[in-house]
Amino acid sequence: MLLVVALLVEYVVFPQLAGARKALHLIGGVNGYLLAVALLLEGSALVAYAALTASLLPADGRPSLGRVLRINLATLAVSHVLPGGSAAAGAVGFDLLGDAGVSGPDSGFALATQALGSALVLNALLWLGLLVSIPARGFNPIYGTAALIGAVLIGAVASSVVLLTRGEERAARLLCSAATHVPFLDPALVEQAVHRVAARLRTLAGDRAVMTRAVGWATANWVADAAALWVSLAAFGYRVGPDGLLVAYGLANVTAAIPVTPGGLGVMEAVLTTSLVGFGAPRGVAILGVVTWRLANFWLPIPAGAAAYLSLRLGPRASGEQRSRELQRLLRQAATKVHGVGRWAVRHVT
């Protein structure tokens, strides 16, 4: 992992920084009002994602939107700090939702469904951009790769849903059998969770209002985030077309989903900058626009998430020493979960 990170820094991050230094003269003409709008759009994307999470939780005992927003910020901060931190972020979100009074199966269902549903909406936006871009600009091999990844993801999700809703007993037997080989998992609890998730899926599928709200909030999250990128580029004087924005944004997010660096750090910037330049953006503007957008998209949620986590765990009157100890405990716990999953996977794959 250290070698991979070092290679990314050497061959991806440093060249981008070198290009940014050459484009520093563009900073003098930046539009500060548009940067403020980009920041507001990023905040809107976070609120939309919190609304997506809340829409998937049972109405009885559902936490307030503000509390769900703080839980999402905390999980986002963890995923941005640890390589492959999505597993640890999910565990943190599970614990915090439990503290808010949400049952374990309902928390697991909401977290898994929001992640999968959000990924499906992202791929739909990417394909929409491809349908517009390919006739106008021609075909690029990377388009096919991205579309294939999206097709595999959608196929896997669709198969899982069908298996759970139409082959519930078979799915329960398969997962219980697998759980016997996984440490710290109780097959009986896994079976109960499978039946609970299958029941929630059937309820969700039969409730068009909830389904519509979930899809709408997931779309709002991605559109607001992509709009923040567009405004960040416009602040430096370049307005990318909608098709170019959707394709570049979708390609970068699909590629960054591979858990090599925390939150796709370095990978996201390289793919996004290269794609935008391919759509006609000046390289200096593309670099500065992407770096500016990532400040709000990647870096600001880390301190905001830490503050949100502390407010949930300790309250506003905790001392600085208590907050420091709690953050250290959180990172140790999250890192242990990531390493435990990695050790188990390596042991069983090899």
Residues 61-81: tens digit of each pLDDT: 889 999 999 999 999 988 888
pLDDT tens figures, 161-184: 555 556 556 665 665 666 565 554
pLDDT at position 346: 39
**Cβ atoms within 10 Å, residue 56:** 22
pLDDT at position 54: 92
- CA torsion, ordered 309, 1, 271, 18, to nearest 10 deg: 100
Distance CA 175, CA 185 (A): 11
| C-alpha distances out from residue 33 to 222, 246, 254, 293, Å | 22, 23, 30, 14
Domain span including residue 160: 2-349
* Sign of the alpha-carbon torsion through 294, 273, 232, 244: negative
| C-alpha distances out from residue 348 to 85, 102, 335, 342, Å | 20, 33, 20, 10
* 1-5, 227-231, 289-293: the lowest-pLDDT one: 1-5
Distance CA 139, CA 336 (A): 44
Distance CA 258, CA 286 (A): 23
Phi-psi region of 185 (alpha: psi -120 to 50; beta: other; left: phi over 0): beta
pLDDT at position 231: 96
**If DSSP codes are grouped into helix, strand and coil, which group holds residue 185?**
coil
Distance CA 286, CA 323 (A): 38
pTM equals 0.78
Model confidence at 141: pLDDT above 80: no
Question: What Rg do the C-alpha atoms of the chain give, in angstroms?
Answer: 21
pLDDT at position 350: 39
Distance CA 91, CA 94 (A): 5
pLDDT at position 216: 93
Domain count of the chain?
1
